[in-house]
Amino acid sequence: MKPPVSSIKSEPVAALDPVIRRPRGRPRKTEDERDDGNRRQQLLTAAARLFRDKGFDATSTRDIAAAVGMHSGSPFYHFKSKDALLYAVMEEGMHAAIARQARALQGARPDAVMAPKAAPIADAPRVQIRRLIRAHFDTLLGPGNDFVPVMLYEHRSLGAGQRASLAKLQVAYESAWTPVLEALHASGQLGAPVKLSRLLMLGALNWSVQWFDRKKGSSLDELTEAAMALFLRES
């Protein structure tokens, strides 16, 4: 069946010829599709949304492929398994959350420096906890922020090793709360022990994923103020 012309392939010398080289497999980028990390990122975003809406097990890799206009087998060109895709979603979510949290805490600093009278040093922990809470709500409920909710509600679908890796990121994230809560506890503004306070407070916030509706109801600012009023005492 093979024409004699193709017999060149069998000659090692011709295969080494640099003129013949041709990036086989991926056609060079057309106008609407760049073959850099963009397709991978599209897969991540679509997967995060589907995992959040339907759950990991109820989402097929075909669903994800269809959401970005791929065929069934193509996601496996970018991720070696469905589990790897889930892990990538969670990891990106945690990195973004940690970055957002750091930005929020840094933003709390200049205020106290530039207006020492308006924001006396004793209020610093209160300012910080408010920013921590607000940043957390943003991470959970902000538009397009599907990654961390997937992390929170689907980590059971992960293998032990990957779960351990993510646990480190979670510890890093939550460790920012401890000194702030300790200061509040010492000054009598926080009534419960620090560790249990952190677990209960983060739980209250994490659960908002279940009932918060961006279309109606409270804003994230109102939510933040309600949490402040619920958790903290006057002095």
Partner DNA sequence: CCTACCGATCGGTAGG
Shortest Å, Cβ 20 to a second copy: 49
Shortest Å, Cβ 154 to DNA: 13
- 229: partner contacted, choices DNA, a second copy, none (Cβ within 5-8 A by kind): a second copy
Q: Closer CB to a second copy, residue 11 or residue 53?
A: 53
Q: Which of residues 73-132 bind DNA (CB under 7 A)?
A: 73-74, 76-78, 80-83
Shortest Å, Cβ 177 to a second copy: 14
- 61: partner contacted, choices a second copy, DNA, none (Cβ within 5-8 A by kind): DNA
Q: Is 72 in the site for DNA (CB under 7 A)?
A: yes
Q: Closer CB to a second copy, residue 66 or residue 204?
A: 204
Q: Which of residues 3-62 bind DNA (CB under 7 A)?
A: 25-26, 33, 35, 39-40, 59-62
Q: Is 157 in the site for DNA (CB under 7 A)?
A: no
Shortest Å, Cβ 33 to DNA: 5
Q: Closer CB to DNA, residue 84 or residue 105?
A: 84
SS (H, E, C) the chain: CCCHHHHHHHCHHHHCCHHHCCCCCCCCCCCCCCCCCHHHHHHHHHHHHHHHHHCCCCCCHHHHHHHCCCCCCCHHHHCCCHHHHHHHHHHHHHHHHHHHHHHHHHHHHHHHHHCCCCCCHHHHHHHHHHHHHHHHHHHHHCCCCCHHHHHHHHHHHCCHHHHHHHHHHHHHHHHCHHHHHHHHHHCCCECCCHHHHHHHHHHHHHCHHHHCCCCCCCCHHHHHHHHHHHHECCC
- Residues making contact with DNA (CB under 7 A): 25-26, 33, 35, 39-40, 59-63, 65, 69-74, 76-78, 80-83
